[in-house]
Amino acid sequence: MKNTPRTLLSNALLFSLLFAPLARAVSEPRTSESAVTPVEKSRHSDFMRQIKAGNGDFGFILLGDSITDGWPGKGKETFAQFAPWKPLDLGVSGETTEEVLWRIMNGELDGYHAKVVMIMIGTNNLGHYGDEKPEWVADGIKKIIATVRQKQPQAKILLLAIFPRSATAQDAIRQKVDATNKLLPTLADDKNVFFFDVGPKFLDPQGNLPKTLMPDLLHPNADGYRVWIQAVKPKLEELMGTPLAPEAAPTAPVPTTTAK
């Protein structure tokens, strides 16, 4: 097919319509308002259907990004321990504080009355944007807490420090995570909002992050989720007022037989 001037113009227009907004989003610099300005992303409709189908019968809410999102899959044995508390996992892979804000301001905390909300968010603010400042991330988390308090005033909040990432304490991204975490204890009042740092439980004595717990140095595997639940168990049981279910014993493999 011959490219006429009209065809070339149409193609150029189509390209600009499809890709220009993406280019602007990628190149737009972060500001102090970025982490606190709600942004719509994805999975919201799925969560809203889940909440409706559950008839508001949820007692324990998990709020976060891929680290939270992955628990029912990679850590299904330990996630099953939350069953007595009727959990609702509102983690979404790749999300930042502003995307979590959009979801919880648009219905995901409506229609039920939870006893406890556990929050762990912020690593993607730092990992996705090289110019993100720890203070901006902390402000985003502060606004998330305020929104949870508004939407679920009866609920206690367990705010977790951002998990350590990358191999060593000297890595730049780890240092930004540490700097952000130093700002988070002031967001707790030890009455309605409680702060807890699981991070040291993942590290060896030299401060290194072992791949036996986080193979990609960011996301926990089954053993990593086991470290997480064991660390927060005492505080969560105190706040919920009832115990976790015991972890089920691993299922033995079914023996195979050879046909004769």
pLDDT digits (tens, 9 = 90+) for 65-91: 999 999 999 999 999 999 999 999 999
Q: Decide yes or no: CATH 3.40.50.1110 for domain 31-238.
A: yes
Beta bridge partners of 90: 63
Per cent of the chain over pLDDT 70 is 85
Given a contact cutoff of 8 angstroms between Cβ atoms, the answer to whether 54 and 113 are in contact is: no
Residue ranges with strand state E in 143-238: 156-160, 193-196
Burial class for 92, CB neighbours closer than 10 Å (0-12, 13-18, 19+): buried
Distance, in Å, from the CA atom of 29 to the CA atom of 25, rounded to the nearest integer, reads 9
| Lookup: tokens for 215 | 């193979």
Residue 8: phi, psi to the nearest 5?
-60, -40
Which pLDDT band, with edges at 50, 70 and 90, does 185 fall under? very high
**pLDDT given at position 255:** 57
Would you state the pLDDT for residue 38? Answer: 84
Task: Tell if the pTM clears 0.85, that is, is over it.
Answer: no
Mean pLDDT confidence for 206-219: 98
What is the per-residue pLDDT for 26? 45
**Contacts (Cβ under 8 Å, ≥6 apart) of 49:** none
Confidence of residue 4 (pLDDT cuts 50, 70, 90): low
Extents of the domains making up the chain: 31-238
Give residue for tokens 């105190």: 238
d(CA 221, CA 224): 5
pLDDT(1) > 60: no
pLDDT of the residue at 22: 40
